[in-house]
Amino acid sequence: MTESDTAPPDGSSDEQLVRNGLHALVADVEPSATALPRVLAGRRRRTGVRTLLGVTGAVAATTAALLLTLVFLVDRTPPTVPAGTAPDSYVAQLADGTLVSVMLETGEVRQEFGRPGAEITALARGEKHVYAATADGGVLRMGAAGSFRRMRGVVPGDEVTAIDTSEGRLAVASGNRVALVSRNTTRRITLSAELVVRDLALDRSGRLALVVGDRTISGPPTLRVVPAGGDSAVRLDTFEVGCGPLRTAWTSTGLAVLRPIECAVTDAVRITTIDPATGSRIGGGVHFGLDRPLGAIGDIRVSTDATDRILVATTSGRMWLVDGAGVDPATGQCASRRDCTSVPPVM
């Protein structure tokens, strides 16, 4: 007991009476004979329990840390995040020819796939690889660490007008032909000789959507769908668009179709979602202005990601991200601090 804890005896007679009474009341109270052994035994039990709890806590903490570390490492292990499939990124070609994936929000280069060594006309993004159509014909499959190989089944020398990939399949359009490459097999779909495939989109089931032009007439392109495993394209006549579709891409609800909002106005486009079975309109979509009038169908490209966002990219390097009814300009430059070629990037 410290000196400051205690009070000097008080002089009040009432207080002294109470003080004396309290002391007298408990004067004969003594600890039981077993008090000290019980205290010491209780202390030992308590120490044991606390030690056990401490060990259990340490084991639990170590296990949690190990699990977190595993999750942390797994999330960052390259094989589990295949090249080209990282969310919120697109694939583009830098000015020096290197194919890269670029983070959508920041424009930072996320991964490099090497240089194809040939002029690129179109890009497609797969789960583990990036596919690049070359100007001299054929398609290159680029992998991580700069590995690449030329795709078999695509006839070299043919000018590739469009490519797309999904679930390990690759669709390549050349003139009026479409080659569907899956592992070691190639299936070819040939349209009438007067037709030319301007764009194509391949969905997860193997279904193809084609934007088809007719060389013999000056009419707008039409939209055709090739069912999975089929070899003929069914024209979607019910979809009426004055100036025809320019580009298309699959979404989880249907086909996203990009077209000019008016035939005479080529610097503004509209994206409409349609039912691929009937051609009927599912959603009116959104429209937005481009930075310059479209010169040719190859000047623009649409691609979608797993969340149905649509990336619209032009050869001028401008990009727009369409998310539902919202349209936002994507990163101004293709990749921050590094210029890109005119090949439109794809998600």
Footprint of another protein on this chain (CB under 8 A)? Answer: 1-2, 4-7, 9, 12, 14-15, 17-27, 29-32, 35-36, 38-40, 42-44, 46-47, 50
Closest CA to 254 of 233, 284, 297, 234: 284
Q: CA 289 to CA 267: how far, in whole Å?
A: 6
CB of 58: closest distance to another protein in angstroms?
A: 18
CB of 64: closest distance to another protein in angstroms?
A: 25
Give whichever of 14 and 240 is closer to another protein, judged by the CB atom.
14
CB of 51: closest distance to another protein in angstroms?
A: 12
Give whichever of 26 and 296 is closer to another protein, judged by the CB atom.
26
Give whichever of 22 and 135 is closer to another protein, judged by the CB atom.
22
- Side chain identity at residue 229, one-letter code: G
Give whichever of 22 and 64 is closer to another protein, judged by the CB atom.
22
CB of 20: closest distance to another protein in angstroms?
A: 5
The CB-side HSE value for 197 (13 A sphere, CA atoms) comes to 32
Give whichever of 2 and 218 is closer to another protein, judged by the CB atom.
2
Q: CA 137 to CA 258: how far, in whole Å?
A: 26
CA triplet 114, 118, 120: central angle to 5 degrees? 85
CB of 62: closest distance to another protein in angstroms?
A: 23
Give whichever of 21 and 79 is closer to another protein, judged by the CB atom.
21
Q: CA 315 to CA 120: how far, in whole Å?
A: 12
Closest CA to 99 of 130, 138, 133: 130
3-state secondary structure of 51: helix
Q: CA 321 to CA 286: how far, in whole Å?
A: 11
CB of 87: closest distance to another protein in angstroms?
A: 50
